[in-house]
Amino acid sequence: MRDIDSFTALNRFGMGAGPGDAALIGGDPRGFVGAQIVPSAGLPAALAGFAPSATMIADYATARRARDGSLRAVNQRQFEAYRDEVLAAAALAVTTPAPLRERMVRFWANHFTVSRSRGPIANMIPAYVREAIRPHVFGRFADMLKTVVRHPCMLIYLDNPSSIGPRSASGAVRMRQQGLETTLNENLAREVLELHTLGVDGGYSQDDVIQFALALTGWSHGGLRRGGGEEIHGRFVFVPRQHEPGPKTILGRTYPEDGEAEVPRILDDLARHPATAQHLATKLVRHFVADDPPPQAVARITRVYLDSDGDLAEVTRAIAALDAAWADPLAKVKSHQEFVLAVNRAAGNATPQVPDLFRPLRLLGQFPYLAPSPQGWGDRASDWIGPETVMIRLEWAHQFAARRAGGQDLRQAFDATIGPVARDATRTWVFRAPSQDAGLTMIWTSPEFQRR
């Protein structure tokens, strides 16, 4: 690696620097980044053989309803599929010549977090990312938003199938037969407004949350629902008898009663809202520039988002064109996942296995798809670096070097990863190391490698 911009291109806009990556750049780091921003060419071959989420949901629901002991075997089979797809996606991240797409898949999957903490969908989240996130990272934000909100994994994660309109047919039956008021679940409506679109300061009210939740009643899926009489197919379904009739007013606009068609119109308007543009721009600039996003950079990305009608390819190009994104190559700290993937890429480990990915991430506290809340994982240095985590990173890197990095030339590894940004002290420590393994460990745990 010849220059600081190459380091930035591979680390901030990619998944880390590996052997031969300098040749991919070809002396034009910014051009290398820009050339990757192209519409999806379809699902990568490495991910093409995994089951759709609908099949997994249907299998799970069928086994649970059968009550014949088959659920345990289904859970085990689906966990193995989850594990294998996470490893396949990791292999893609550490070998792809277009790592920006893999970074954006992870960014948007975190933005639209669905967590393994919700039992029934614990093993289906890689399928959710494959179906709802990956196809849209360089498409329109509105399309990704609509795909995410109607995806069964998001509906289940935020409990929307249990949400029943008070004046719906189901609500009336519940009141008549049981004397119980229906339960309107606000989770999905609140998180879409607060986390996915407008942001916590986006100007919406509790009334807007309630009205949006009423519009979302009836959005469900075929399987995992109480009663046992519904068709099991695992796909999205609209259940008219649960849907609250009548108009809904959100952010001052009234949407006439239109059943299933109400929500897509609301989501289109939310995607175009200036507060959504500001919220997304702030998150993107924080990810690619600095923990404290420069206001001028946020304003620029906000304007591009609005002018392009939420075209994420245009937005990503604008981020890559920000001088601020290239000014400080060490402004951001790698998350635990970014660090572990970067070490695998640096070592040329094309097929990460459980000890190369799951074990360190469990120790470090960022197990794949196990974010503690719908907010997802944080994106500031304070979220990732402390005395304990630094020691865990060091110990794992040393073990990894002993297992996986045999035959690597120390100077080539140094030049390919941190050469352009290394301090003199780091250079001295690396080349005075008592062994190759120790030298590689010092590269991977250096302050320069920890950052992007």
Q: What is the pLDDT of residues 2-44, one digit of tens each?
A: 799 999 999 999 999 999 899 999 999 999 999 999 988 799 9
pLDDT of residue 177: 67
Would you say residue 224 has pLDDT above 70?
Answer: no
Q: What is the pLDDT of residues 169-202, one digit of tens each?
A: 999 887 766 666 668 999 999 999 999 999 999 9
Between 258 and 68, residue with greater pLDDT: 258
8 neighbors 95 (Cβ within 8 angstroms) = no
Residue for token pair 């420069």: 294
Mean local confidence (pLDDT), 380-392? 96
Q: For 122-143, b where at least 16 C-beta lie within 10 A, e where not — what string?
A: bbbbbbbbbbbbbbbbbbbbbb
Q: For 349-364, b where at least 16 C-beta lie within 10 A, e where not — what string?
A: beebeeebbbbbbebb
Per-domain residue ranges for the chain?
A: 157-271, 336-444
pLDDT of residue 172: 87
Residue for token pair 């607060």: 194
pLDDT band at 227 (very low <50, low <70, confident <90, very high): very low
Q: What is the pLDDT of residues 90-111, one digit of tens each?
A: 999 999 999 999 999 999 999 9
pLDDT of residue 233: 83
Predicted TM-score of the model (pTM): 0.96
pLDDT of residue 303: 99
pLDDT of residue 41: 77
SS (H, E, C) 181-236: CCCCCCHHHHHHHHHHCCCCCCCCCHHHHHHHHHHHCCEEECCCCCCCCCCCCCCE
pLDDT of residue 226: 47
Residue for token pair 């001295």: 428
pLDDT of residue 228: 40
Q: What is the pLDDT of residues 123-139, one digit of tens each?
A: 999 999 999 999 999 99
Between 181 and 47, residue with greater pLDDT: 47
Q: What percent of the chain has pLDDT over 70?
A: 96
pLDDT of residue 176: 67
Residues in CB range of 3: below 8 A, 6 or more apart: 29, 420
